[in-house]
Amino acid sequence: MVNHIRTFQKVAKKDSSQLRSKKTTKAIKSVAGSALRNRSK
């Protein structure tokens, strides 16, 4: 479980930076937002 949490933190950091980026396409922002929304709690 610890590895899962550590992995998610890395993914979340990358996804959130892509969502803030002006150069990221709309499709990539959609996937990044979906990944952040669908994470396990």
Q: Which pLDDT does position 41 carry in this prediction?
A: 55
Q: What is the pTM of this model?
A: 0.54
Whole-number Å distance between alpha carbons of 32 and 18:
7
DSSP 5-39: HHHHHHHHHHHHHHHH-SSS-HHHHHHHHHHHHT-
pLDDT for residue 30: 86
pLDDT tens figures, 7-37: 677 777 887 888 888 888 888 888 888 877 7
Is the pLDDT higher at 1 or at 32?
Answer: 32
